[in-house]
Amino acid sequence: MGLFNKESCIICNGKTNALTKAKASSGVVCSSCLSLCSPGFIRNIGNKTTTDIKEHIEYVKENQLLYNSFQATDTVGKLFFVDKVNQRFYIPVPAATLYNKIPIVYSFDNIVDYELVVDGESYTKGGASIGRALIGGAIFGGAGAIIGGSTGKRKQNEVIKKMYIKISLKHPYDSYTEIPLISTEVKKGAFIYNTMTDAANKILALLDSMVASEPVAIPSASAADELLKYKQLLDCGALTQEEFDTKKKELLNL
């Protein structure tokens, strides 16, 4: 491997272009192979092996099928697409994306939590385990309320530069995904600001409803097993009668 020899791609063995290749742990990957990977995967490609990348490319092919058959039940503009029947969602890939433009289709189960971030500050955070918490007293009501409800440090007529919703994920390839709302300086109260505030409200409400979805019912056989365990805990005094009754109701869907 002399200084002037171009390294070939570890996936396809093709030639690589110095400007568009990426460095993985076992060598370089050409731009056409990168175009088969998701953006979240490419962010972390530095520590991926040839096998990791090949597996990921297979995953992306399957994702393409999910995307092609996606039937949205709820949408917010062109920002957020949700299929409540199959419990899936995706966020369109920005047009400027260098590589794969097919968005990853996530399942509701992938969501850990989500937050609205305005100029680096988290304004509201939600998730299955925490419900929706409002940060800094921000009441997320009508247009303009995001900032108006904050700590009062901010002045009227201020501008904001960046607003997005970040969704943290438990997913093999993406630890998070983002819905970009504002990425250029806008005045509070301007049309784009109001439109995007409104969109943020709708997306957060949708996310709230997505994580609040009914959990899968426990099959009766395992419910009986569980109940037996709780009965033993009751008998040995680890649970009170009241705690046992509560569990029993839960397990038997009473």
Nearer to Zn ion, 57 or 117 (CB): 57
Name residues contacting Zn ion, limited to 215-234 (CB under 5 A).
none
**Interface with Zn ion by CB under 5 A: which range of 6-14, 124-132, 150-158, 216-224?**
6-14
Query: Cα–Cα distance between 160 and 148 in angstroms, integer?
Result: 12
* Contact assessment for residue 90 and residue 106, using Cβ atoms and an 8 Å cutoff: yes
Q: Summarize the chain as % helix, strand, coil (round to 5).
A: 35, 20, 45
Residue in 35, 32, 39 with CA at minimum distance from that of residue 17: 32
Q: What size, in residues, is the chain?
A: 254
11 binds Zn ion (CB under 5 A): yes
Positive or negative, the CA dihedral 203, 208, 211, 213 is: negative
Smallest distance, Zn ion to C-beta of residue 54, A? 11
Tell me the number of residues near Zn ion by CB under 5 A: 6
Name residues contacting Zn ion, limited to 65-124 (CB under 5 A).
none
Smallest distance, Zn ion to C-beta of residue 15, A? 9
The SS3 assignment for 173 reads coil
The correct pick among 12, 98, 130, 135 for binding Zn ion (CB under 5 A) is 12
Cβ neighbours of residue 103 closer than 8 Å, sequence gap 6 or more: 67, 90, 91, 92, 93
Q: What is the H or E stretch that residue 165 is in?
A: strand 163-169
Smallest distance, Zn ion to C-beta of residue 11, A? 4
Nearer to Zn ion, 101 or 170 (CB): 101
Cβ neighbours of residue 232 closer than 8 Å, sequence gap 6 or more: none
Nearer to Zn ion, 55 or 119 (CB): 55
Smallest distance, Zn ion to C-beta of residue 172, A? 22
Output the CA–CA distances (angstroms, integers) from residue 184 to 77, 144, 163, 177, in the order listed. Answer: 19, 17, 9, 19
Nearer to Zn ion, 11 or 181 (CB): 11
Nearer to Zn ion, 9 or 207 (CB): 9
Q: Which amino acid is at 72?
A: A
Nearer to Zn ion, 33 or 76 (CB): 33
Nearer to Zn ion, 33 or 42 (CB): 33
Smallest distance, Zn ion to C-beta of residue 34, A? 8
Name residues contacting Zn ion, limited to 114-133 (CB under 5 A).
none
Smallest distance, Zn ion to C-beta of residue 33, A? 3
Q: Which position has the token pair 């304004």?
A: 123
Name residues contacting Zn ion, limited to 20-49 (CB under 5 A).
30, 33
Can you give the binding site for Zn ion, defined by CB under 5 A? 9, 11-12, 14, 30, 33
